[in-house]
Structure 1
Amino acid sequence: MASNDIVLGFIFLFQTGFGALGNSFLLGLYTINFFIGPKLRLIDMILYHLAFVNDLMLLSKGIPQTMAAFGLTNFLDDVGCKLVFYLHRVARGLSLCTTCLLSSFQAITLSSGSSRWAGLKARALKFIVSICFLCWTFHLVAYYVTLLYVKGPNRSKNITGSNYLIYCSATTDVLFNVALYVFLIFLPDVLCVAIMVGTSGYMVFVLCKHHQRAKYIHGNNLTLTSSPETRATQSILLLVTLFVSFYSLNSILAFHIHLGKPTSWLVHISAFLTTCFPACSPFVLIVSDSQVPKYFLALWERIKLPV
């Protein structure tokens, strides 16, 4: 095994383990606090769902990619390949959908000063549950095609045609695949990214407007102490920026891989970009969302044994 492959394997191993640890920490923290801790915010329900699908995305992509980087390319059979790629594609779509829902909900929260937006926020819990259910249903059905064209590993060492997945292979009619991809995958993805960009731009506008108003009222003596709502908005803006950046880079690279002659390094880089967001997002929330440390401290005070 080449030294480059060993380094690549350890990179994937670190990324997968570190990201899974962060997402699992958030899942455990939100779950325990839901039952015995302080009351969770409505937005925490969305963050819980995001941590769950990101964990699923990391494990279904990171573990096989790590094994492939270490030179194990025949560890999955036909059923295993179908299941792993199906779970990854569904989790990836749900991660996009949940991040879009997160940015939209925060934009509504910032606009809840008016009675119309306040009423919409009051009914948001029912909407969130319904939207999450619809997202799961759509992606479970839309990515069913993955079960049809993903096959077991190809024994050929050339990463061309049907063997560009490295540890699995795919065979499908090109014209049918392009048409299906456009209507079931590409258009919904573009719509979600457009909503995220639009709501993020709106949130930046609202925050800048609020900052200018506060600066006008307090003058030069203004000391910026951000409210919890402002810090939550900033963390969500950072999450959206990370997602759109990694998603755009990976989409360009994946398009090149499908049309050109892929190499193992291009496939590995594409997989690395795919798992960057689910690996980074929990730590963005842990560092920038003030409620996460509060939940942890409240839990620690509750379970701490008396001296």
Structure 2
Amino acid sequence: MISMNILLSIAFFSQTGIGVQGNLFLLYLFSFLFFTGQSLRPIDLILSQLALANSLVLLSKGFLQGLATLGLKNLLDDIGCKIVFYLHRVGRGLSLCITCLLSGFQAINISPQNSRFMKLKTRIPRYIMPSILLCWIFPMLQNITILEKLEGPRSIRNTSETNIYGYCSVNAATPISTSLHGVVFSLPDAVCMTFISFTSGYKVYLLHKHHKRVEQLHSDSFFPRSFPETRATQMILLLVSTFVTFYLLNSILTACMHSMTPRPWLLHSSALLASCFPMVSPFVLISSDSQILRYYKAVHGRKSSQPEK
């Protein structure tokens, strides 16, 4: 009979392998079209950064977590643990920030012509790159403070003074520093989640108004159809709702881990949930965004038409 640890390792490796392939496919697609001079939507730059953040989370978490469940916990020294954990935290923060940016971008993009967002709507393409740059800088600076608290398993001398996270550990902290750490890391997340919820609600409201308007205009010569803006908004709403669901579940488990002695099932469940959105995200995009399939056909057709040497 297969042991639970082997099943968990298979789950972690499968998550990592499937998710990385999906995200790398999107990165390859957007990069190929960009470097060959093909026209891309402004939103595609945001989606490419989301795919990059997801890949970073999966590679820095899932693979090593799978090895840890097999008992291979002493692979990293202090420096290796700091680098891997830092990359994971930066990837997680970047994923949250890019999702927030994506939700806000689409809310402004579908706003009515007579709304207060009209001036901002025309300038959005110029603001995308600076916004993405800020999304990278903030988590990189925010997570520098955690580096001094991390240790590799090889350095652990007194396990009663550390919390073990599979392949890394964190030094025990005083109640004051723990509270400060919680504020520094929880407050920005709460602000982003509030913004995502607000923009998602606004988009649902606009879609409802659009649906009501289409119903009023319905006649024998006019049939309701799904406009590109509507389909794009529905795709982003699906993506954002998936992110929020997994993020909240993971946050609940993380809070439980910090309020009690971490148990193996809590550690593994939290790690699995943390990798669910990065794994699912590219396939949500591929299946719901028809433009991505057109990009793939364009790339495939371009390669097929090239003469053999």
> TM-score under structure 2 normalisation?
0.93
CA distance in 2, matches of 1:125, 1:42: 6
Q: Aligned equivalents of 2:34 and 2:176: distance in 1?
A: 46
Partner of 1:289: 289
Deviation per CA, 1:155-190, whole angstroms, max 9, x where unpaired? Answer: 889986513202111104232433333432111100
Deviation at 1:116, TM superposition (A): 4.9
Query: Is 1:56 matched up with 2:56?
Result: yes
What secondary structure is seen at the aligned counterpart in 2 of 1:164? strand
Displacement of 1:225: 2.8
Q: Distance in 1 between matches of 2:128 and 2:289?
A: 20
Change (3 A) 1:219 1:157: farther
Question: Which residue is equivalent to 1:147?
Answer: 147
Q: Which amino acid aligns with 1:214?
A: V
Give the letter for the 2:13 counterpart.
L
Mapped pair 1:15 → 2:28? no
In structure 2, runs of 5+ residues without a counterpart are none
Which deviates further from its counterpart, 157-166 or 201-210? 157-166
CA contact (8 A) 1:159 1:262 kept: no
TM-aligned CA distance change 1:2 to 1:127, over 3 Å: same
How far residue 154 of structure 1 moved from its aligned partner, in angstroms, is: 5.9
Provide the C-alpha distance between the structure 2 equivalents of 1:132 and 1:287, rounded to a whole number of angstroms. Answer: 25
SS of equivalent to 1:170:
strand
**Partner residue in 2 for 1:127:** 127
- What is residue 92 of structure 1 aligned with on the other side? 92
**Map of 1:33 onto structure 2:** 33
* Closer, same or farther: CA 106–59 of 1 in aligned 2, 3 Å: same
Aligned pair in 2 of structure 1 residues 230, 251: CA closer, same or farther (>3 Å)?
same
Aligned residue for 2:81?
Answer: 81
1:269 equivalent in structure 2:
269
Mean alpha-carbon deviation: is it higher for 199-208 or for 295-304?
A: 295-304
Secondary structure at the aligned position of 2:162 is classed as: helix
Q: Is the 8 A contact 1:153 1:169 kept in 2?
A: yes
Amino acid at match of 2:245: S
1:203 is matched with 203
Match of 1:186 in 2: 186
- 1:304 partner SS: helix
SS of match in other structure, 1:293: helix
Distance 1:163 1:84 in 2: 17
Distance 1:246 1:115, change over 3 A: closer
Q: CA deviation at 1:126?
A: 2.8
CA distance change for structure 1 residues 115 and 210 in 2, over 3 Å: closer, same or farther?
A: closer
Q: Distance in 2 between matches of 1:36 and 1:155?
A: 49
Note the C-alpha offset of 1:65: 0.6
Residue-by-residue CA offset, 1:108-139 (whole Å, 9 max, x unaligned) = 00115237534312222332222222222221
Q: Given that residues 160 and 261 in structure 1 are in contact (C-alpha distance below 8 angstroms), is that contact kept between their aligned partners in structure 2? A: no
Partner Cα separation in structure 2 for residue 173 and residue 47 of structure 1: 38
Following TM superposition, by how much is the alpha carbon of 1:232 offset from its aligned partner in structure 2, in angstroms? 1.0
Query: Structure 1 stretches of 5 or more lacking a match?
Result: none
Which stretch shows the higher mean deviation, 212-221 or 88-97?
A: 212-221
Deviation, 1:222, is 6.6
User: Structure 1 residues 221, 244: closer, same or farther in 2, change over 3 A?
Assistant: farther
* CA–CA distance in structure 2, aligned partners of residues 9 and 128 of structure 1: 39
Q: Percent identity?
A: 48
Structure 1 range deviating more: 122-131 or 231-240: 122-131
Question: Does 1:165 pair with 2:169?
Answer: no
- State the AA in 1 paired with 2:255: F
Using the alignment, how far apart are the partners of 2:112 and 2:40 within structure 1?
Answer: 19
1-side partners of 2:215 and 2:157: how far apart? 63
Taking the aligned partners of 2:151 and 2:231, their CA distance within structure 1 comes to: 46
Q: Which digits, 9 at most, give the CA deviation of each residue in 1:73-122, with x for residues without a partner?
A: 11111111111110000110110000000000000001152375343122
Count residues with an aligned counterpart.
Answer: 307
Deviation at 1:219, TM superposition (A): 4.8
**Structure 1: distance between partners of 2:209 and 2:220:** 17
Contact between 1:215 and 1:222, CA under 8 Å: does it hold in 2? no
